[in-house]
Structure 1
């Protein structure tokens, strides 16, 4: 445990710097993998996940299990709603416009994600963004979904590891 970092994190500026620098490092790592693989290893819901890891590592929603299960449930719910509502073959909502089917897929996927994570007692609010990314058709190809899953694992493992190494407690 690094006592000087822990003391530094007790100040507002120290906590802000810790979160900013480590968030930058972890997201840059994920982005670098994405660049190398030419796949989406950096997407919107990773931002709030990393912020939780480094701004409030003591919160239940910051635990690695919550992040992994939360985003996993979000991916599955998003895919299920996207296909159940017959959206395959249509342009993603940001490109083709929001349709009633996309509204239903998005709202339903967030509701399912919330329901499952609440029942499991594994809250992770950024998973709501993951499920929307999928249910709105932004990333739905199998390789994109695998990339999202890989990025979630990478960010969670690296965030957990960095917090454990530097402040002596996991994300």
Structure 2
């Protein structure tokens, strides 16, 4: 099994630059909103979603329904797991090894990924970056209803930007 694509199948420098520009363009509004409001409109799982939308726009997992639906399941799964198993804890304040709070926090992350994966597979709304969103929530980083609304607004804005901006054609099969 080859790990890297043959050189002839890789994007050209101009295609790579166009895809990089499109990835960053998808995030511009959210960067400005985060900066202007001090709210978490920019969070780690947006990067992989923007990349997938920009580089593989015709992939099934890059469709807007799957992008929004997957992240919605990530938020819901994360909120359920966090508030049921580890309320008040956060991964930024790591508990001691083998402690009960450590078990609660890691358990919440574990359960959040399980809930999100099951929901995405059952509904065919698969979008891998949503498993990062569920960990962000499940590990106590963004756990309020306002945080959940901001996450979903940001994902929806990303999907709208993806629809409005022209694609770069990088994921089209070679001729």
Q: TM exceeds 0.5?
A: yes
Is 1:123 aligned to residue 129 of structure 2?
no
Residue in structure 1 matched with residue 94 of structure 2 by the alignment: 96
Is 1:140 aligned to residue 143 of structure 2?
yes
Would you say how many aligned residue pairs link Structure 1 and Structure 2?
Answer: 155
Gaps in structure 2 of 5+ consecutive residues: 1-9, 96-100, 170-175
Per the TM alignment, residue 11 of structure 1 is displaced from its structure 2 partner at its CA by 4.4
Higher normalized helix content (fraction of residues): 1
TM-score by length of 2: 0.82
Give the secondary-structure state (helix, strand or coil) at the position aligned to 2:165: helix
Per the TM alignment, residue 15 of structure 1 is displaced from its structure 2 partner at its CA by 2.6
Gaps in structure 1 of 5+ consecutive residues: 1-9
TM-score by length of 1: 0.84
Q: Is the 8 A contact 1:79 1:140 kept in 2?
A: yes
User: Which piece of structure 1 moves more, 65-74 or 17-26?
Assistant: 17-26
Per the TM alignment, residue 50 of structure 1 is displaced from its structure 2 partner at its CA by 0.5
Query: For 1:111 and 1:142, how far apart are their aligned partners in 2?
Result: 21
Residue in structure 1 matched with residue 108 of structure 2 by the alignment: 105
Query: For 1:125 and 1:11, how far apart are their aligned partners in 2?
Result: 23
